[in-house]
Amino acid sequence: MLPAISLGCWHNFGGVGTDSARHSDETSFHDSCRQMLFTAFDCGITHFDLANNYGPPPGSAEARVGRILFDDFAAHRDELIISTKAGYGMWPGPYGDNGSRKYLLASLDASLKRLKLDYVDIFYHHRPDPNTPIDETMGALDQAVKSGKALYAAISNYRGAQTADAILSCDHNRSTKPILHQPSYSMLNRWIEPDLLPVTEKMGLGVIVFSPLAQGQLSDKYLNGIPADSRAGVPTGFLKAHHITEANLSKIRKLNDVAKQRAQSLAQMALAWTLRTPAVTSALIGASRPEQIKENAASLNAGAFTEEQLKQIEHILSGS
C-alpha cells in the first residue's frame, strides 16, 4: 500500500552546503528541506525513505528529517510510512558495518533517536553481507519487528538468489519475513528483470526501486551537457561526470522524443516506465526543490504506455 511515487532523502537532506542548491546557511537549507517534505505530502507522497548513513555526513539526513517530523508532522505520523536501513559503513570498527545482529539493532536504536520516533514503519538490511550467516541477519530483522521498533522488515541490494535464501531462512526459523525489496532499477539499469523480479513475484515481496532516473540522467538536465548544479557537478554526489557516456546521452535524447509524444517530461516517462509492471510497487525519487516533486508526482497522469511506445523504447534501449 505504498504510494506509486515515494520520496528518498539520500541527497539534499544532510549537512549545510552538501545539497545541489549549495545552501550556505542552516536556516535557508532547513526551510528548503521542510518545503520539499510538505510538497511531497501534499502531492500524496506519504513514504519518506532514509538510511543510517544518508547525508553527508552519515546520520545527518535522519537527524534533519527527524527534526521536521517532530516539529511539523507530529499530527500526521499515522499517515506516513518512514523507512530506514543499516548495512553500509556507519561507525569505525567491525560492529559498525555489514549485517551482524549487534550492528543492525544498535544502528536501529541510533536511527530512532535521530528521527525522534518510537518506531519506523520499515527497517531494511541495506546490502547482503557474505561474512554473516543469513540466519543471524534475518534474526536481527525479526527481533527489530518483535520489539516494536519496526513494523515491517525489508532488504535492499540483494540479488535474486540471495533474496530466496533470506526468505527460506525465515521459513526455516519461523521468523518475520522481509515484505519489501529495494533494488536499483531504471531504463539504463535493468538487472532486476531477469534476476530478481521472478523471485520477488514468486515469494510475494513488494519491490520499491531506487535511482529510477539513473541519478538524474533520465531527465532533461543532461541533454546539453553537465550543469554545475547537477549531482554530477557536486563533489559529494554519487553520480560522476564519467558515468554520463555519449552512448547513454544518445539514448536519452531519443527517449526524450518519445516523452514529448506522450506529452510528458523525460523524467515523468522514465518513472512511469519503471511502474509499468505490477511487480514494481513504488519508485523512489530524489529532489533538490519542490517543483521537481510536483513534476514527478504527476508521472502517471499520461496513462498507460501503448504497445507501440513500449516497442519504440525497447528499440532505443537495445541500441538497435
Residue 112 is part of a domain; what is its CATH number?
3.20.20.100
Q: Compute CA distances 153 → 165, 176, 199, 236, 308, whole Å.
A: 15, 7, 17, 30, 39
Q: For residue 5, give the C-alpha cell.
A: 511515487
Q: What per-residue confidence (pLDDT) applies to 220? A: 87
Q: What are phi and psi of 186, to 5 degrees?
A: -160, 175
pLDDT digits (tens, 9 = 90+) for 15-40: 998 998 888 999 999 999 999 999 99
pLDDT at 67 over 80: yes
Is residue 255 assigned to a domain? Answer: no
Q: Is the pLDDT higher at 33 or at 224?
A: 33
Say if residues 207 and 197 touch (Cβ distance below 8 Å): yes
pLDDT at 243 over 80: no
Stretch 37-66: mean pLDDT: 98
Q: Is the pLDDT higher at 222 or at 192?
A: 192
CA 12 to chain CA centroid, Å, is: 13
Q: What per-residue confidence (pLDDT) applies to 238? A: 57
Is residue 96 assigned to a domain? Answer: yes
Is residue 107 assigned to a domain? Answer: yes
DSSP 8-state symbol, 240? -
| Domain coverage including residue 12 | 5-244+269-303
Is residue 320 assigned to a domain? Answer: no
Gap between the Cα atoms of 138 and 101, Å rounded = 9
Gap between the Cα atoms of 124 and 86, Å rounded = 6
Stretch 48-56: mean pLDDT: 97
pLDDT at 58 over 80: yes
Q: For residue 209, give the C-alpha cell.
A: 526501486
Residue of 250, 283, 245 whose CA lies nearest to 267: 283
Gap between the Cα atoms of 302 and 165, Å rounded = 39
- Check the CA dihedral 298-303-304-310 and report its sign: negative
Is residue 139 assigned to a domain? Answer: yes
Is residue 210 assigned to a domain? Answer: yes
Stretch 281-298: mean pLDDT: 96
Say if residues 262 and 309 touch (Cβ distance below 8 Å): yes
Q: Compute CA distances 64 → 26, 71, 121, 171, 294, whole Å.
A: 11, 11, 18, 37, 22
Q: Is residue 11 very low, low, confident or very high in pLDDT (cuts 50, 70, 90)? A: confident
**Beta-bridge mates of residue 208:** 282
Is residue 169 assigned to a domain? Answer: yes
pLDDT at 56 over 60: yes
Whats the size of the chain, residue-wise?
Answer: 320
Gap between the Cα atoms of 218 and 265, Å rounded = 10
Gap between the Cα atoms of 271 and 255, Å rounded = 12
Q: Is the pLDDT higher at 232 or at 246?
A: 246
pLDDT digits (tens, 9 = 90+) for 144-181: 999 999 999 999 999 999 999 999 999 999 999 999 99
Is residue 308 assigned to a domain? Answer: no
Alpha carbon distance, N-terminus to C-terminus of the chain: 38
pLDDT digits (tens, 9 = 90+) for 164-174: 999 999 999 99
Number of domains in the chain: 1
Q: Compute CA distances 10 → 59, 175, 227, 240, 275, whole Å.
A: 10, 30, 20, 16, 21
Query: In the predicted model, what is the mean pLDDT of the chain?
Result: 94
pLDDT at 233 over 60: no
Kindly give, in sequence order, each residue whose CB lies less than 8 Å from that of residue 259, ignoring residues fewer than 6 positions away.
265, 266, 268, 269
Q: What per-residue confidence (pLDDT) applies to 231? A: 56
pLDDT digits (tens, 9 = 90+) for 72-100: 999 999 999 999 999 999 999 999 999 99
3 state DSSP class of 52: coil
3 state DSSP class of 309: helix
Gap between the Cα atoms of 77 and 81, Å rounded = 8
Q: What per-residue confidence (pLDDT) applies to 43? A: 98
pLDDT at 228 over 70: no
Q: What per-residue confidence (pLDDT) applies to 241? A: 63
pLDDT digits (tens, 9 = 90+) for 102-132: 999 999 999 999 999 999 999 999 999 999 9
Q: What are phi and psi of 133, to 5 degrees?
A: -55, 140
